Amino acid sequence: MYVRRTLIASAIAMAFAMPAQADNSDDIAAVRKEIEAMRQNYEARIQALEARLKQAEGQAGQATAKADVAEPAAAPPAAANSFNPEIGLILTGHYANLKDVPNRHITGFLPLSPAAVGMNRGFSVDASELSLAADIDPNFRGQANLVYEDGTGATVEEAYFQTLRLGNGFTLKGGRFRSAIGYMNEQHPHAWDFVDNPLMYQVLFGEGYGQDGVQLKWLAPTDLLVEITGELGRGANFPGSDRNQNGAGDATLGLHLGGDVGLSNSWRGGIAYLRTRAEDRAFFGLDPAGTGLTGDFTGRSRTWLADFTWKWAPNGNPRETNFKFQTEWFQRSESGSLACTPCITGPYASEQSGWYAQGIYQFMPMWRLGYRYDRLDRGTARLNGADLGGTIASLADYSPSKHSLMLDWSPSEFSLVRLQYARDKSMAGLDENQIALQYVYSLGAHGAHKY
């Protein structure tokens, strides 16, 4: 053993270090005898230590065997807060410098409600959100988002359950939730890259399309992202209406693909379809003289959406700098009957489209710069086969557009301050310079945002 060899070597070294007169034969014999005695002594001590080690190992083995047949120890008690939900609060608001425009709307499109268009003037509290979420048990998770917005008060934006262990790539969601169609629709307003959402979403859904229903999502077990989503819902939100019926009032189907390109780039693209129906869906508008008029629409609505997103970050690390490009396009067709007071009533049909594209560049930690361009195509809107532009001025043949430029500062992941300038031409006859200053603050727990 190593110890034995070391001791013997040490003794030999001591022997060679003795004075020269020890080199005679008697001294050599004495040294050899002393070395032998030391060797025997240390061998005996090593054997004793080895015996003690063997005995200790045996006792440890017996203890392990007894533990194997003993009853298992009781699990440690759960933490006092293990059943408490994750609670988060989002505070958002803005100041906007806008023109005082009566009956503000996006020309050529329904709905024509000012509540669905852009920002409020002056100081406003925007969609401040209280969220609660927790795992219900190993099979389900629940989440609720309560939103307070200036002018509308408190509402239940989301309240749903979601499966955790359905298996085979499937996830089921039920309750009230933001639909998975498109790219931005699932994002809450505090996650937007600009103060307001694109014109496309304003004419399609107002803020976003919400479901009261069920959603089934399947994620394929492939390296390439393949995600298929289907939903059945009540269909009470625009462009549908609440019809108080059994069964599903709307249906959606969506496909998303995505993946990585090297270490620094990733992408996601998709297409989605929404089918719904409206019954006495109210609207208001203006006649050529600027007088208000009201009406309602009954019929079917079909919407196609396509989206594409590209992200870049050096070696996949977005902390220092990164860039995101995103774009979405829609086409919506509606057919049915339009009743208007005091204008004519009859068969109505429309075919409309629009898109936006934006780029967001984080040029240094905490600072981002972004630009967005919006464009809508009014397409066709006919009543009794005749263009509606001459009857309802707010449905005139016009192509709304908007340029938006923003700069935001995020000193941490919990706070953001954003300055935005926009050149808005969404309403016929209006060419408006808009300036807005926004804050977004997050308190408590808050889940990660989607890709």
Distance CA 237, CA 68 (A): 61
pLDDT higher than 90, residue 253? yes
Among 73-82, 93-102, 220-229, 255-264, the least confident range? 73-82
pLDDT, residue 339, reads 87
* pLDDT of 112 above 70: no
Q: Is residue 75 predicted with pLDDT exceeding 70? A: no
Of 72-76, 311-315, 379-383, where does the model show the most confidence? 311-315
pLDDT average, residue stretch 182-199: 94
Across the range 25-39, mean pLDDT stands at 68
- 16 pLDDT above the threshold of 70: no
Q: Does 132 have pLDDT greater than 60?
A: yes
Contact in structure between 404 and 422 (CB atoms under 8 Å): yes
More confident site: 292 or 7: 292
pLDDT one-digit tens code per residue, 205-243 = 988 999 999 999 999 999 999 999 999 999 999 999 998
The confidence score (pLDDT) of residue 238 equals: 92
Per domain, the residue ranges of the chain are 2-68, 90-444
Residue 66: pLDDT above 80?
Answer: no
Q: Specify the pLDDT at position 59.
A: 57
Residue-wise pLDDT for 395-440, tens only, equals 888 999 999 999 999 999 899 999 999 999 999 989 999 999 999 9
pLDDT of residue 30: 67
Average pLDDT over residues 133-153: 88
If pLDDT is split at 50, 70 and 90, which confidence band does 334 have?
Answer: very high
What is the mean pLDDT of the segment spanning 368-374?
A: 98
Assigned token pair, 203: 């004419």
CATH superfamily of 90-444: Porin (2.40.160.10)
% of the chain residues with pLDDT over 90: 59
What is the per-residue pLDDT for 91? 94
* pLDDT higher than threshold 70 for residue 190: yes
Local confidence band at 42 (pLDDT 50, 70, 90 cut-offs)? low
- Look at residue 293 in the predicted model and tell me its pLDDT: 80
